[in-house]
Amino acid sequence: MRGALWRLHRVLPRASGRRIPRIARAAQRPLSTGLHEATREEDVQLRDAFDLPTQTTLGSAWFQQGQPTGLLMESRFVSPKSFRQSGQEAMAEAATLVERVLGAQTHAQRRQVVKCLDQLSDALCRVMDVAELVRQVHPDSSWQAAAEEVYGGMLEYMNGLNTHVGLYAKLVEVMDDPVIAADLSPVEREVALSFRRDFERSGIHLATTAHARFVELSSRIHDQSREFLRSQALAPAGGAVPVPVDQLRSLPAPVVMEILQAFPSRKRSDGVTVVDIVPDDYAAQYILRDCEDAGVREAVFRAWQHGAPSAVQALEGLLDDRLALARTVGFESFAHMTLDDKMAKSPEHVDGFLRGLATQAQPQWDAVARALHRTRSRTQPAQLSALQPWDRDYWVNRQQMGLGALPQLAEYFSLGRVVLGLSRVFARLYGVTLRAAMPQPGEIWHPEVRKLEVVDENGRLLGLVYCDVFARDSKAHVGAAHFTARCARRVDDDV
């Protein structure tokens, strides 16, 4: 567990899967808008940054000569060597802050303890979170190796801080002092309470034996989580499915070509040519949607859903150890521990919400199921069995086609148009928009990365977003995600 000092929150990062198609602009027209001309020009630039990568220069800085600004415009991150050095410097800064917290005696010094802890967390996370990003997406193996080294060393250091009895005792001392507590702002009180909760979730208040058990479980959970994610990149354990080439004819031609290029084909003894498909997400989804043979759909579905034994073993161990960890610190389950300080508060509230939602939506689901059965009965009147999981996508697609739905709706939503649409939604809801920007030399890690500025209604820069949305072999194959590389925080009163 990263615990109290791991204050930057991220949702699983790493982009993977098949390459997102780029739709030629020849088939598009600029979206109509009532906004002024300058904004329309920025809209076109935002859209074209994703849809016309070869005709824009937003990634050309990757190849520019000149003094690099550093990865993500951080001057410390100009090379693998300097990246390693930044990890050492961050831990040295953290050590100084730890000494300052532990040595706080006067009222003024103790009044700064919460700020010091916040600054300590930020000093470590500004390097450690970037290391997590780099080791997942950077194409250069030397950068990946440096990031692994920095991440591993800083994680070990962070875990030591998360169980540092002196830091916890000093924080409790400050929070329990009525004079200092009355002087803390509402934000400072909430930050202090958050740190204290996370310290205690790290088992710091436990007796020696229980704390040792907590540390052991935390280490196992970390290892099992990494093993489970690593196993997601393995081929499905169901093995290859022999699919007659003729059964692929109902799939879109470009998809068939990719499948034929990706998987071996052979002739069976009966003279039928088959393709031995090991179902990944891409192939399985198209076969389940478009293949007319229910037997092929079933075989592909079962092979696709058959998890690798190593992944199943890691997941089962992870669930057992999470339960044991939660009970070690006094919670009924890991869900109770995770939700305790969240808006939902408890698993019972989540369960009640989901069940209520299901009850409310049941009539609509029943109507959908009846419509699917009617669609199937018109094509297969003798088929009276229940719809199976491998039938759903196929009959939903047939139903939509029967209602006149466009067969390839996604082609009308190019990546650039989707990003532009999101920007317009953000503008209406929050008064902020996305604007394509030119990266500086060394700022991005691959020429396909797109830099976006987040600006308010007055054009004031609020933050930056780097989009690395296309698949490539050098990425970790564990699904889509985002990384927080740097949090917004007040720095003018740093100690």
C-alpha–C-alpha distance, residues 238 and 236, integer Å: 5
Q: Note the Cα 87 to chain centre separation in Å.
A: 24
In degrees and rounded to multiples of 5, residue 462 shows phi and psi of -105, -30
Helix (H) or strand (E) holding 276: strand 273-277
In degrees and rounded to multiples of 5, residue 466 shows phi and psi of -110, 120
For 161-196, the pLDDT digits (tens) are: 988 989 999 999 999 999 999 999 998 999 999 899
pLDDT per residue rounded down to tens, the chain (495 residues): 344 444 333 322 333 333 333 333 333 333 333 333 335 788 889 998 998 865 555 554 444 556 778 999 999 999 999 999 999 999 999 999 999 999 999 999 999 999 999 999 999 999 999 999 999 899 999 999 999 999 989 988 988 898 898 999 999 999 999 999 999 999 899 999 989 988 888 888 888 888 888 888 988 998 898 888 888 767 676 689 999 999 999 999 999 999 999 999 999 999 999 999 998 888 999 999 999 999 999 999 999 988 888 888 999 999 999 999 999 988 999 999 999 888 899 999 999 999 999 999 999 988 888 888 888 888 776 666 778 899 989 988 888 877 665 556 666 788 999 999 999 999 999 999 999 999 988 899 998 899 999 999 999 999 999 999 888 888 876 567 888 888 877 776 777
pTM equals 0.70
Strand, helix or coil at 141?
helix
C-alpha–C-alpha distance, residues 172 and 196, integer Å: 7
C-alpha–C-alpha distance, residues 406 and 403, integer Å: 9
| Cα angle 231-234-237, degrees, rounded to a multiple of 5 | 100
Residue 134 near residue 84 (C-beta atoms within 8 A): no
Kindly write down the DSSP assignment for every residue of 191-226, as one continuous string: HHHHHHHHHHHTTTTS-HHHHHHHHHHHHHHHHHHH
Q: Which of 101, 98, 104, 110 is nearest to 157 (CA)?
A: 98
For 11-69, the pLDDT digits (tens) are: 223 333 333 333 333 333 333 333 333 357 888 899 989 988 655 555 544 445 567 78
For 242-291, the pLDDT digits (tens) are: 999 999 999 999 999 999 999 999 999 999 999 999 988 889 999 999 99
Other Cβ atoms less than 10 A from the Cβ of 466: the count is 19
